[in-house]
């Protein structure tokens, strides 16, 4: 899990997996449920 607190952008939660935490979702946690990522 990671959260943007209006201090820039985090591209991915961990190692290219997960959504970005940026100014469009400030204060909203971004989660990784499965790691390593399972191919769809």
Which pairs count as long-range contacts for 13-17, CB under 8 Å and 24+ apart, including other chains?
none
Cβ within 8 Å of residue 13, ≥6 positions away: 1, 2, 19, 21, 30, 31, 32
Which sequence spans correspond to the domains of the chain?
A: 1-40
40 or 30, greater pLDDT? 30
Residue 7 is predicted with a pLDDT of 86
Segment 7-34, tens digit of pLDDT: 889 998 888 898 999 999 999 999 998 8
Residue 36 is predicted with a pLDDT of 83
pTM exceeding the 0.75 threshold for the entire prediction: no
């Amino acid at each position: 899990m990671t959260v943007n607190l209006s201090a820039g952008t985090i591209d991915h939660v961990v190692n290219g997996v997960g959504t970005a935490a940026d100014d469009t979702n400030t204060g909203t946690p971004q989660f990784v449920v499965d790691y390593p990522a399972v191919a769809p």
